[in-house]
Chain A
């Protein structure tokens, strides 16, 4: 079987298109590259959607946490504490079984028991909590002069937030937020090893990598392939976020800019 044929068969296997059976013996490098790459579709899907939705919720949570009113502050603090204080792995398990018991009561929610929706919700909440902490820290370190200048120009309420506080918060938070984005993508590998099942063997990159490692009893091929895919993904994320960082800092003299430093953190 040629490599082109393998790619045609397995490139979208993780979404359920193409050949139904996974290869069972005589594994070729091409098959491993194609299937693990096919699984990456799920990692990108989870990462991108959770990041986009999480950005909005994180801003709200950070503002809530910085609020002087306990009604707003307490829920935000608890949300951040619960999702940052417990392992993501346990959160996945808990959410899966919670969604299952909810779905038996309310059939409307049955979509949540499958990974594409349920795991996405967990990742969304999780990244919101971590990002909220970053944004909160940035809110606390907005230079006093900036807000005083906004006051002096007669800006208040929404327009002050929209024109001064929010852009400054993003600018200060961006290097740390870049790291958060990278770890979120890394964390997407946990989805199919936790409670959520891979229906009809439609899994993510790690799912296929461990499939190959189990079948061949040779970890030295699939895992480096997986690591390679992730390094590429990380480089793409860094490039995108650096472009945004440049845009956020475009008004500053070049030596005052905050550089993004890649500081890996291991497990969430």
Chain B
């Protein structure tokens, strides 16, 4: 990185550290924070979307759709945590490959499950065997995001379902009295008004989602946990210019601080957002704001 880094063995103190912390692998480590934030930025809206769809389905007047929404919420919420993460990624992967197998290779006569092996034809492999490395990474990350969104979507659905029911009935009736259709009531009154009731639950969920990101490591994404283990381990002088002992404790201490700072910042932002949403609402919080003003 810096000009004086050409001979690390001759350096010591801060100069050594500044070179050490700017090696190519460390850059990967810093980028992986970006990966985690990016995955969060994709997962959170997707989960919210799943949640909204689930909550709308659970409120539907169509019975099968309603049952589907309710069953989705019930099943995902009652099965323990990481079991779902480990299970879903393989299950989704095999499901996609199986579907492609059935459509792309109709004249394949052998069974897909042969003892301990899962065999599909080459054309059905996802991604294709000759695809570049980045395709594999994107596909893996995509599966991870989908899994997270599916699981957190169920929780978000539950929160939104409760929030939709918490919107004062009188407001909806007023809208109906103005001649709005059910769809218009939903779009113009219910959805804008529900956020103040949903935010406490959603912010809880956001905190849980932040704290779930290290589990990406279990799903095989090269995230911050992977790099912290990789970089912190003992490095012998034979293989690297920057030999050091077992520094994993410092790397994980740094991750701990990162997460603490991240949750703290989220807390502050969310409480501001809550104050903004409470403004003028017929809730205890809104009343307190009115009195204070």
Contact = CB atoms under 8 A, between A and B. Distances in A.
A94 B214 contact: no
Given A266-B208, A268-B211, A215 B116 contact: yes
A97 interface: yes
Given A101-B246, A227-B80, A266-B212, A219 B91 contact: yes
B112 to A, nearest CB: 11
Contacts of B229: 93
B102 interface: no
Contacts of B225: 89-90, 93
In terms of DSSP, what is the predominant structure of the interface of chain A?
helix
Nearest to A222: B87
B208 A94 contact: no
Contacts of B217: 89
A217 B255 contact: no
Contacts of A230: 79-80, 83
Interface string B87-123: 1001100100000000000000000010011100000
Nearest to B254: A94
A88 B213 CA distance: 11
Interface in A69-103: 81-82, 85-91, 93-94, 97-98, 100-101
B82 A189 contact: yes
Chain A interface size, under 10 / 10 to 19 / 20 to 34 / 35 or more: 35 or more
B83 A85 contact: no
A181 interface: no
B137 interface: no
A231 B77 CA distance: 12
Chain B interface size, under 10 / 10 to 19 / 20 to 34 / 35 or more: 35 or more
Interface string B200-238: 000010001011111101100000010011001000000
A216 B116 contact: yes
Interface string B253-271: 1011001100110000000
A86 B256 contact: yes
Contacts, number: 122
B155 interface: yes
B213 A87 contact: yes
B152 A266 contact: yes
B81 interface: yes
B246 A97 contact: yes
Interface string A179-217: 000000011011001000000000000100110010111
B275 to A, nearest CB: 21
Given A220-B91, A265-B208, A82 B260 contact: yes
A213 B218 CA distance: 14
B86 interface: yes
Interface of B: 77-83, 86-87, 90-91, 94, 113, 116-118, 151-152, 155, 204, 208, 210-215, 217-218, 225, 228-229, 232, 246, 248-249, 252-253, 255-256, 259-260, 263-264
Given A101-B246, A217-B117, 9 more contacts: A85-B264, A90-B214, A90-B255, A94-B252, A94-B255, A97-B248, A206-B83, A217-B90, A226-B80
17 contacts: A86-B256, A86-B263, A87-B210, A87-B259, A89-B217, A91-B256, A93-B252, A93-B255, A94-B252, A97-B248, A186-B80, A189-B80, A210-B86, A215-B116, A216-B116, A217-B116, A264-B77
Give me the 9 closest cross-chain CB pairs, A-B, nearest first. Answer: A97-B249, A94-B252, A87-B211, A267-B212, A223-B87, A85-B263, A97-B248, A89-B214, A219-B90
